[in-house]
Chains A and B, each alone.
Chain A
Amino acid sequence: MTIEIKTSTLEPVRNTFAHIERRFGDKPATRYQEATYDVASEINFHYKPLWQPEYELNDTGRTAIVMEDWYAFKDPRQFYYGSYVQMRAKQQEVAESNYSFFEKRNLARLIPDEIQRKVIRLLVPLRHVEQAANLNNVYGSSLGYGTAITQALLYNGMDRLGNAQYLSRIGLILDSNSGDALNEAKRYWMDDAIWQGVRSYCEANICVEDWFESFVAQDAILDGLIYELVYLQFDQWLADNGGQDFSMLTEFIQNWNKDTNRWVDAVVKIAAAESDANKQLLEQWIGTWKAKALEALAPLAEEMVGPEALAIAEDALVKRLNKAGLLK
């Protein structure tokens, strides 16, 4: 049985904004469409930026990637601000209950000391990698072109700050809020030979000028490898070695990665499918940054899991890139 409430229906004059109609036809539009397409200015910028007089304020020339339509980068998650924060709010609710469960029952006391030391040395310093990712994604958001990709880069940038904060809280749980574990982890980040390759990679990428290259080096390559290595393999290793409860604390980042990879893969695939020139450029960037990343992660992988770990992670990354039409 259904019941029907009678409402007065008025015939609308039009279904959506004209620029949306030009793209998708005269029909009701989604909120994602109205919030995204053709919102950014395209012409008549008045003044050249004092800080980059060679470009317009919004300029497609800040990357060597060429797109006929920068709005081709449709987000498979269809995130606009409202759907983005509501999705993250749900995920953080789960994370919050995991963290408080862990803290309330003081699960850390059940974890062997050497495993705790290993987490402080190998997992907690990743908060600085997240910080680099925050900078790189916000960079793309501020200098990239077209709302479809720039809004997703901002969401990603803010996510990375969130990830950094969740990782920091693991440190605070282990050091009973003294901050000692975070300081120790930062010393590893700064001085321990095992981290210097990754730190050097992050510093280099923060200085990259081409925002799309920076996205590739961060979100596609480094994040792709770290996800496989740390949040899948190291997580499993911890589970097998008495540190299984840590999974409660990294679950947010794990799920976040799964979700975000869909977007990263879509961006890479769309850019590659646009032209051979894009494809070649992407493969060149991937070649350079993947080699660097593998070298940087090698000592960490060995220490986290074992000698085969990195090859497995690389294999998984290459499969993703193959699916996006690259390195075939």
Chain B
Amino acid sequence: MAAKKLNIKDKYRLLTRDLDWDFSYEDRKQAFPYEEFEGIKITDWNKWEDPFRLTMDSYWKYQAEKEKKLYAIFDAFSQNNGHLNVVDSRYVNALKLFLTGVSPLEYQAYQGFAHVGRQFSGVGARVACQMQSLDELRHVQTQIHAMSHYNKFFDGFQEFSHMHDRVWYLSVPRSFFCDARSAGPFEFMVAIGFSFEYVLTNLLFVPFMSGAAHNGDMATVTFGFSAQSDEARHMTLGLEVIKFLLEQHEDNVPIVQKWIDKWFWRGTRLLTIVAMMMDYMLPNKVMSWKEAWEVYFEEAGGALFKDLARYGIRMPKYAETIEKEKEHISHQAWWTFYTHGHAAGFHTWIPSDKELDWLSAQYPDTFDKYYRPLWELAKEQEAKGERFYTSGLPQLCQTCQIPMLFTEMDNPNQNSMRDSVFEDERYHFCSDGCKDIFDEEPEKYVQSWLPVHQIFQGNCGGPGVEDVLSDYYKMNVGVDNMDIKGSPDEKRWNEWKGIA
């Protein structure tokens, strides 16, 4: 008898979906205990549509081909001192921010997807999550390997792992992922699978990779290209999750909406560092943060939410506030880092005159009015030999953990402050969005490990801030950070390039 040809869907069902069975000897709920406490109702896991149908043999084959090419480039890059081809030494600071702030998130994504990839009782969803988990492990490891060469020639990469667990601004991305992982499995999927990987990835992963492409960084951009097809798979998984949850039961709709509101806000807060990176840290600009936001969120995201309207899902709460924020946040963030440049893990600088003009052109409504004067002042002080550093430590938002640096969007001279009282204790927030998130789950957010509070409570060594920076954070103050002008990074760069 001639074997009939199986189509991919049937083959995948036979090879994967049919592996599961109904338990007879144990309670299956004991094997998958976390599916119910969030209130999500799954009536039939069989309705799960596999977002991609990769068997393991094909997975190994495709991924190995990509790895082989990627590592060949890494080898060539270090053999030929590829770091000398980046546009200038300022660019490398964007990579320091990436390795200390973003790569460890890939690790948490690996852990989070492994967790849901074990805990979902539907085999289709489980296997898709497991593959993403493995991909995320790939990403953190290939990023470490891509940056390994830079670490040999520049300061500020060497303690990325130690710093990620401790440093004040790194608690922003870190707490974001800890928040998602400590949530239930369905919230994790809406937070990371959908909001982060589907809606926001073009505003996080892509800007860094495009930045690499525009600034002569062959190692990082090659990683970016190599990860593209993984990311595409992750996006289809994120979209399938949301559709599956919404189609399973109407009671899921308000829960999912609440999570979209929360994670969208939390995500945009996190993207502040990307905004700053794009507008200030890349010597060769890709596009302004404002433009990126318009293209990737307002247009692409707008279309997505129109599509989801048929399930009863609306645009995330505070989308209008965020639309105003795109004019401000990058400037407010870089100014904060500039003035706290002794406490950052990378170098800061005043934008060149050409860059100031570019910012004026990109932000005609806000830059000249609110932000250019600050830089003109900084230039004057620098010229007098009085480069300015703030001595105080900023207050942090209890939810997003960003210093309270943001202003009211309708009045950029007025700092934005909100507060709530929970169990006789007052908590402070940078925005209505962050206050809402706290008010919804105060028991969770009172646990925030706020780096500045911890310093004041003596939990990070001391007694002085310099001791915290050098001993607890393991920063080489004055070497890894402060102004790029006069830094060892800059000196070495000038020697390599023969610049007097």
Which A residues are within 8 Å of any B CB, using their own CB? 7-8, 10, 12-19, 21, 31, 34-35, 38-51, 57-58, 80-82, 85-86, 88-90, 92-93, 95-96, 103, 127-128, 130-131, 134-135, 138-139, 141-143, 147, 150-151, 154-155, 157-159, 161-162, 164-166, 168-169, 172-173, 176-179, 182, 186, 189-190, 199-200, 203-204, 206-207
Contacts and interface: CB of A to CB of B under 8 A. Distances in A.
Contact of B67 (A81, A155, A189): A81
B60 A85 contact: yes
Contacts of A168: 14-15, 18-19
B421 interface: no
A207 B25 CA distance: 11
Given A44-B165, A190-B21, A89 B61 contact: yes
Interface in B1-44: 1-6, 10, 14-16, 18-27, 30-31, 33-34, 37
B151 A142 contact: no
Interface in B429-476: 444-445, 447-449, 474
A95 B162 CA distance: 43
A279 B63 CA distance: 39
A165 B183 contact: no
B281 to A, nearest CB: 21
Given A16-B148, A39-B107, A86-B64, A176 B158 contact: no
B40 to A, nearest CB: 13
8 contacts: A17-B159, A17-B161, A18-B159, A41-B174, A50-B37, A51-B34, A85-B64, A203-B24
B79 to A, nearest CB: 7
B67 A86 contact: yes
B6 A177 contact: yes
A5 B91 CA distance: 30
Interface string B345-378: 0000000000000000000000000000000000
B162 A89 contact: no
B152 A141 contact: no
B182 A182 contact: no
B258 interface: no
Nearest to A200: B25
Contacts of A50: 37, 182-184, 444
B228 interface: no
A139 B157 CA distance: 32
Interface string B50-61: 000001110111
A14 B182 contact: no
Secondary structure at the B interface, as helix, strand, loop or mixed, is helix
Contacts of A155: 134
Interface string B209-249: 00000000000000000000000000000000000000000
A162 B141 CA distance: 22
Contacts of A151: 137
A47 B156 CA distance: 28
Q: Which 7 pairs, one residue from A and one from B, show the smallest C-beta to C-beta distance?
A: A89-B64, A162-B56, A12-B152, A142-B114, A35-B141, A131-B19, A88-B60
B17 to A, nearest CB: 11
Contacts of A40: 107, 111
Contact of A47 (B15, B79, B444): B444
B67 A177 contact: no
Contacts, number: 252
A188 to B, nearest CB: 12
A323 B117 CA distance: 34
B93 interface: no
B57 A92 contact: yes
Nearest to B448: A46
Contacts of A206: 26, 31
A191 to B, nearest CB: 9
Nearest to B110: A154
B178 A92 contact: no
A180 B130 CA distance: 28
A135 B2 CA distance: 36
A206 B185 CA distance: 18
Given A14-B152, A88-B56, A134-B130, 16 more contacts: A17-B158, A18-B162, A19-B162, A46-B182, A47-B182, A50-B184, A86-B67, A95-B57, A103-B3, A138-B117, A151-B137, A158-B131, A168-B14, A177-B4, A200-B24, A203-B26
B285 interface: no
Contacts of A131: 19-20, 123
B366 to A, nearest CB: 33
B440 to A, nearest CB: 13
Contacts of B111: 40, 57-58, 142, 150
Given A46-B175, A49-B181, A161 B130 contact: yes
A204 B5 CA distance: 38
A6 to B, nearest CB: 12
A182 B14 contact: yes
A151 B106 CA distance: 13
B158 A14 contact: yes
Nearest to B149: A12
A143 B119 CA distance: 11
A39 B64 contact: no
Contacts of A139: 118
Contacts of B61: 89, 92-93
